[in-house]
């Protein structure tokens, strides 16, 4: 299996709920198991929505951090 080491960046900055989750779900449909995504969001709702989406889909939230007003969610595809 060819697994990406460098995360794919999915830019959802400036998009309101539920669009960060929609963008994450679109990525998950084509990503192979083990691939990484760096989801970028400025939506405050993403702080709760992204971890909940990961739990409900079985994807792993590897890291969550804020940088210059942007939330970064590093997610590994289940």
Measured in residues, the chain has a length of 78
Instruction: Determine the Cα–Cα distance for residues 69 and 65; give it in Å rounded to an integer.
Output: 10
Catalytic-role residue among 15, 17, 61, 62? 17
Tell me if residue 54 is catalytic: no
The catalytic residue positions are: 17
């Amino acid at each position: 299996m060819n697994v990406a080491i460098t995360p794919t960046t999915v830019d959802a900055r400036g998009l309101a709920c539920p669009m960060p989750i929609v963008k994450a779900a679109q990525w998950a449909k084509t990503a192979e198991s083990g691939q990484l995504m760096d989801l970028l969001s400025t939506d405050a709702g993403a702080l709760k929505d992204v971890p909940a989406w990961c739990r409900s889909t079985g994807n792993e939230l590897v890291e969550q951090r804020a940088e210059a007003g942007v939330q970064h969610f590093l997610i590994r595809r289940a």
